[in-house]
Amino acid sequence: MWLGLDDTDSLEGGCTTLVFHELLNALPCDYGEPRLTRLWPFAAQRTRGNASLSVELYADQSIIAWLDNYWNENIAPLKGEVAISEHSDRLQYPADPGMTLFFDKPSADYYWRAVRGEAGFVEGGHQWGGHGRIGAAASCAWPADNSTWEGIAWRKGPREVSEESLTLVDNMEETFLCRDPRTKRGLVAPRGPCPVMFGVRATTFDSASKASQILLDGCAETIGSRIFRTNQATGDHIDTTIADTVHTKLLLKGGHVVINNRYLVFSESGDVNHIAQWLDVGDSFECQGLEYDKQIHVEAIKVVKSVTKQRPLCECGIRMKSMGQGQGVRCPKCKLKSDITWLEDVRTPSISGWAQPPADKRRHLAKTLALDPKC
């Protein structure tokens, strides 16, 4: 059977991963690999990290009574915590914990709905609580065909991770997004009031486990740690790559760019914004992003073709002019004619291939498209 949990935290603190870790420690039965799933980034009542948790239980129906008691004593009291964001105008909702238990794994279709759009409640199984039941069920439904791993530790006191241990894990071949390559700032330790000491991401379980131990040996005191299988960096939230041509381009105050009144590229997106500003009318491009409020919020972009067209030069050095549709061009000085009406020059962007936001500005779900996995 499958157990899921979501929505126990707020901006003031708390952490669903820690609540789930404590629940796993208390379980009276064996269980499988804990899983952490990020869901649709625009969900109205998303939590701070928009993460939900799940695990397969090896138990019989007697576990229901145990879970009911644990819920009432340890999780239900977390309902109602809320804080106001200092960085966003988005409405903040109170914590509304939800827990689900399914005897059969929910359909993967439910996960895909929840990671690519707004999902509603799913029926079946045993369910506790409120809005968090959506994320809890979606995590249970995750097929995990494509996954990464994250080692998470929770602090007992101050958050302190040594530079030496961070450098060691950053240099491991199978870890990723440990450090911002631009600023060299570490990315494994959050900066808010949550109880997480660090979260280190890797492409294999063994690497996540090894990296976690290195960080544990070089950090302040913790109250526990655990390795989660995750959908982070899988790109599951993106279902297609969009190809288009620039027809209009608008530069907004602050450096944001809107292409064709459809593609929104934020100034904070680094190379993505630089490419968007570089594009000219007539250029063709590909992009990836999520649609929200009738616009595509661009997360990655690639120039397909960019050319400039000019009239040919006469032998005398003067630019020729058109004589009319289908009649070629003529030099206004020498009157020399030519059937070559346009010359094309290929423009080359400063970034070849896919451009993505800086490491610290990417979504948890964003798949690395650049050649260098450390980018």
Percent with pLDDT over 70 in the chain: 92
- The DSSP result for 28-86, as a single string, is SSEE---EEEE--TT-TT--SS-EEEEEEEE--TTHHHHHHHHIIIIIGGGTT-----S
What domains are there in the chain, each with its CATH number?
2-141 (3.30.70), 148-230 (3.90.600), 242-306+348-358 (2.40.50.1010), 309-344 (no CATH)
pLDDT tens, 95-145?
A: 889 999 999 999 999 999 999 999 999 999 999 999 999 999 999 999 999
Nearest Cα neighbor of 355 from 314, 291, 298 is 298
Contacts of 144 (CB under 8 A, 6+ apart): 35, 229, 231
Question: Checking DSSP bridges between strand 321-322 and strand 222-230, what pairing results, if any?
Answer: unpaired
Q: Report the alpha-carbon angle 108-110-111, nearest 5.
A: 65
Q: With 80 as the cut, is the pLDDT of residue 44 above it?
A: no
Q: How far apart are CA 129 and CA 133, in angstroms?
A: 7
CA distance 175 to 168: 10
Q: 240 vs 370, which has greater pLDDT?
A: 240
Q: How far is CA 85 from CA 47, 89, 91, 119, 124, in A?
A: 12, 7, 8, 24, 35
DSSP code at position 94: P
pLDDT score of 372: 37
CA distances from residue 315 to 58, 68, 324, 332 in whole angstroms, order as listed: 84, 89, 21, 12
3-state secondary structure labels for all residues of 335-369: CCEECCCCEEEECCCCCCCCECCCHHHCCCCCCCC
Token pair for residue 148?
Answer: 């990464």
For 37, residues 6+ apart whose C-beta sits below 8 A from its C-beta are 51, 52, 53, 54, 111, 115, 135, 138, 139, 142, 230, 231
Q: What is the residue whose two structure tokens read 């944001």?
A: 256
Written as six digits, the tokens of 142 are 């995750």
The helix or strand, by DSSP H or E, that contains position 213, with its residue range, turns out to be helix 205-217
User: Worst-scoring range by mean pLDDT, 18-27, 32-41, 43-52, 69-78?
Assistant: 43-52
pTM: 0.85
pLDDT, tens only, 202-252? 999 999 999 999 999 999 999 999 999 999 999 999 999 999 999 999 999
Residue 179 DSSP one-character state: B
Residue type at 16 in one-letter notation: T
